[in-house]
Amino acid sequence: MEGGKVGNSWFIGFSFLCALVLMVYPLPIDWRWLRPELLCLLAIYWVLRFPQLLGVGMAFLLGLVQDIVQGSLWGQHALALVVTIYITQLTIHRLRTYGTLQQLMWVFLLVFMHELFLYWVSMLLGREALFSYFWAPAVISALLWPLLCHALDKLCWVLRVGV
């Protein structure tokens, strides 16, 4: 894991593709605000695992792709993801030593900030955002975090990603 190359890195790209599909999967229009920020979670996970591979630049590109796919204003998700990943990188050593519960809280904060930036931009555009739009995805994403970590750890082990 210390080397520059990461084996089977196609899996990382594939996971992002899956996340993008799930991000636009049509939920009932009343329940859209409950959608977890899967792409943001995945980005945090991969940055923690392979910091040499994923950085702020990749986050920018990913956010841009998400903007294009979701049809939102270009740069909206890019901005939010860049800030989130930057803070993740700053706190990477602390995050790695944390236990599950502490990690969960920290991820909650990170996703909350992600949402804050997203809706800050859309509020500048004159749209109305309820407070529940901020905390609901953050809570759900944080609760998903241990599950996602566990599943991805297993998958990485099986597929020998990063060996």
Partner 1 sequence: MLALIAVALIIASRFFSPSMQPVKDRLDGFALGFYWITDLPNRFNNWLDDSLVSREELLEENRSLKGERLILQRKLQQYATLAADNARLRQLMNSAELVQDRVLIAELIGVSPDPTEQVVVVNKGSEHGVFIGQPLLDAFGLMGQVIEVNPYFSRVLLITDASHALSVQINRNGVRAVAEGTGDLYELKLRHVSNTIDVKVGDLLVSSGLGQRFPVGYPVAEVVSILHDPGRAFATVIARPKAQLNRSRHVLLAFSGQRNEGRP
Q: Summarize as ranges the residues that interact with partner 1 (CB under 8 A).
A: 20-21, 23-30, 32-33, 35, 56-57, 59-60, 63-64, 68-76, 78-79, 82-83, 86, 119, 121-123, 125-129, 133
Q: Give the shortest CB-146-to-partner 1 separation in angstroms.
A: 24
In terms of CB distance, is 6 or 59 closer to partner 1?
A: 59
User: Closest approach of Cβ 55 to partner 1, in Å?
Assistant: 10
CB of 26 to partner 1, least distance (A): 5
Q: Which is nearer to partner 1, 75 or 146 (CB)?
A: 75
Taking the CA atoms of 36, 1, 87 and 123 in sequence, report the sign of the dihedral they define: negative
Specify whether the CB–CB gap between 109 and 40 falls below 8 A: no
Of 53, 45, 43, 105, the residue nearest 80 (C-alpha): 43
CB of 28 to partner 1, least distance (A): 6
Q: Which is nearer to partner 1, 44 or 161 (CB)?
A: 44
| Shortest distance (Å) from residue 147 CB to partner 1 | 21
Task: Provide the H-helix boundaries in the chain.
Answer: 10-24, 38-49, 56-70, 76-90, 92-97, 100-124, 132-159
Nearer to partner 1, 14 or 74 (CB): 74
> Is the CB of 66 or the CB of 103 nearer to partner 1?
66
* Cα 71 from Cα 106, distance rounded (Å): 29
Tell me the residue type at 33: W
Q: Say which residue the tokens 């609760």 belong to.
A: 143
Task: Please tell me the distance from the alpha carbon of residue 150 to that of residue 163, in angstroms, as a whole number.
Answer: 18
